[in-house]
Amino acid sequence: MSNRDTIRIASGQGFWGDRLQAPVEQVRRGPIDYLMLDYLAEVTMSIMQKQRSRDPAQGYARDFVPLMGEILEDCVEKDIRVVANAGGVNADGCAEAVLTEARRAGLMGSAKVGVVSGDDIMDRLEELVESGHELRNMETGAPLSDVLSKIQSANAYIGARPIVDALNRGAHVVITGRSTDTALTYAPMMHAFGWALDDWDRIAAGVVAGHINECGAQASGGNSIVAWKDVPDLADVGYPIIEAHSDGTFIVTKHDGTGGLINRAVVAEQILYEMGDPREYITPDVVADFTTIHLDDAGPDRVRVHGVKGRKATDMLKVSISYSAGYKAVGTLVYAWPDCIEKARMADRILRERLDRMGATFDEVRTELVGWNSTHGHLAGEPPADLPEIELRVAVRSTDKAAVEAFTREIAPLILTGPPSVTGFAGGRPRVQDIVAYWPALIDRTQIEPHLRVEVREA
């Protein structure tokens, strides 16, 4: 723990697949103390599990390793600590790969990597279910035993404490599995300011900061309906930086000279993203009340956040489970003027009739006309008269793989056997995709926390 009153925590990655250059620029274009990188979405863990089952050395966000090769020397030199949930389902393997990069960069004896494990409960599931933990689906109420044989991955969402532990022990890089997105931002605050574990208001403020940081540039002018026409230089958008004070107040800002825009309206949009009941934003460390957030404009690209209240965390942790749920495919064709909508509708009818006659059965067949109703449905109203073109998009889902395969073979033939002026079929047959579905559940935290481990390894 240091005695500083202000630390700067930079957001470097909003999801696995975000701009690779963003974290490099956060380290090089101005002062920061911490870099947080969020790689995990609800379905990411199952993708990683699949990769690990093919190769036991895999199962983490691979992008993270070359990134560390590029910036770790800078980070050690400038004392910038990195916190990332890049570990996925193999935090250990990820840490070893980063240590190899550190040695290659000549950081033997100077770089330390912390690894947090114990969130993965895949191997414990059967035992947990047998001992009476039903792990009911939070949306449907169904017990996990319904899908137990189809499970692909299972991880508990863990909070900041193990990350704080690794930082306290001097780790330059902390790699976790399924830690919550927000913890990656507020763990550095708890470490740097030495906040008590029951300092609910300050930790809740940290959660708000984490929620603002966790989607990258979505808090600095990206994807903003209020500002998009006015945001300067989105091509060089600066990702958000939280300038946190020990009293729990903070400023949202970005590096000088970068593009993007940070003001109250832009930050408010991000606060509302993926919001449930704003009075109880539940995390493993605190329940934050988002109706207590105050935002003030505090100069160009600076928003001050204060007043946040929180209360004691709950006894339960959320668990993210994924399971196999059949197959799907999406086929598209483009129809041109005249009467493009009528042509697309006719093609859709023919396709369905052919599949019907083959006896292919689906759990769902969905038809959208992209260019008219695929996003706003009936709210789009009637299509404009004389529309120049439309994309027919048909998607199917079934537990019968053969039915989905049959569908993928019936798209291209529509070009020569259906309505005219059709194009847009260059990519071959649509791909059959395995559906890995998400099963959110709750578990008593006493089943998880004793299993959490923190290791700090030297390069």
Partner 1 sequence: MKVQLYRIAHGRSGDKGNTVNVGVIALRPEFYPFLLDHLTTDRVRRHFGDLVKGDVERFELPNLNALNFLLHEALGGGGTVSLMTDAQGKTFSTAMLRMEVDLPNDLAALVKER
Q: Site residues (CB under 8 A) for partner 1?
A: 42-43, 138-139, 223, 225-226, 265, 268-279, 290-295, 307, 325, 328, 330, 364, 366, 368, 370, 374-379, 393, 395-397, 435-438, 440
Between 75 and 347, name the residue whose CB sits nearer to partner 1: 347
Please provide residue 323's backbone torsions phi and psi, each rounded to the nearest 5 degrees.
-145, 155
**8 A C-beta contact, residue 372 and residue 390:** yes
CB 303, min distance to partner 1, A: 12
SS3 sequence of the chain: CCCCCEEEEEEEECCCCCCCHHHHHHHHCCCCCEEEECCCCCCHHHHHHHHHHHCCCCCCCCCHHHHHHHHHHHHHHHCCEEEECCCCCCHHHHHHHHHHHHHHCCCCCCCEEEEEECCECHHHHHHHHHCCCCCCCCCCCCCHHHHHHHEEEEEECECCHHHHHHHHCCCCEEECCCECCCHHHHHHHHHHHCCCCCCHHHHHHHHHHHHHHCCHHHHCCCCCCCCCCCCCCHHHECCCEEEEECCCCEEEECCCCCECCCCHHHHHHHHCCCCCCCCCEECCCCEEEHHHCEEEECCCCCEEEECCEEECCCCEEEEEEEEEEEEEEEEEEEEECCCHHHHHHHHHHHHHHHHHHHCCCCCEEEEEEECCCCCCHHHHCCCCCCCCEEEEEEEEEECCHHHHHHHHHCCCCHHHHCCCCEECCCCCCCCCEEEEEEEEEEEEHHHCHHHCEEEEEEC
CB 176, min distance to partner 1, A: 22
Between 118 and 222, name the residue whose CB sits nearer to partner 1: 222
Sign of CA dihedral 320, 323, 325, 331: positive
CB 454, min distance to partner 1, A: 30
Contacts of 251 (CB under 8 A, 6+ apart): 242, 243, 298, 302, 303, 304, 305
Between 162 and 284, name the residue whose CB sits nearer to partner 1: 284
Please tell me the distance from the alpha carbon of residue 167 to that of residue 163, in angstroms, as a whole number.
Answer: 6
Between 273 and 337, name the residue whose CB sits nearer to partner 1: 273
Between 3 and 375, name the residue whose CB sits nearer to partner 1: 375
CB 229, min distance to partner 1, A: 8
CB 445, min distance to partner 1, A: 21
**8 A C-beta contact, residue 120 and residue 452:** no
Between 357 and 376, name the residue whose CB sits nearer to partner 1: 376
Between 42 and 342, name the residue whose CB sits nearer to partner 1: 42
CB 109, min distance to partner 1, A: 44
CB 221, min distance to partner 1, A: 13
Question: Residue 40: how many CB atoms within 10 A of its CB?
Answer: 26
Between 274 and 386, name the residue whose CB sits nearer to partner 1: 274
Between 2 and 291, name the residue whose CB sits nearer to partner 1: 291
Between 191 and 393, name the residue whose CB sits nearer to partner 1: 393
Between 57 and 272, name the residue whose CB sits nearer to partner 1: 272
Distances in Å between the alpha carbon of 369 and those of 179, 372, 406? 39, 6, 22
Between 54 and 376, name the residue whose CB sits nearer to partner 1: 376
CB 311, min distance to partner 1, A: 17
CB 46, min distance to partner 1, A: 8
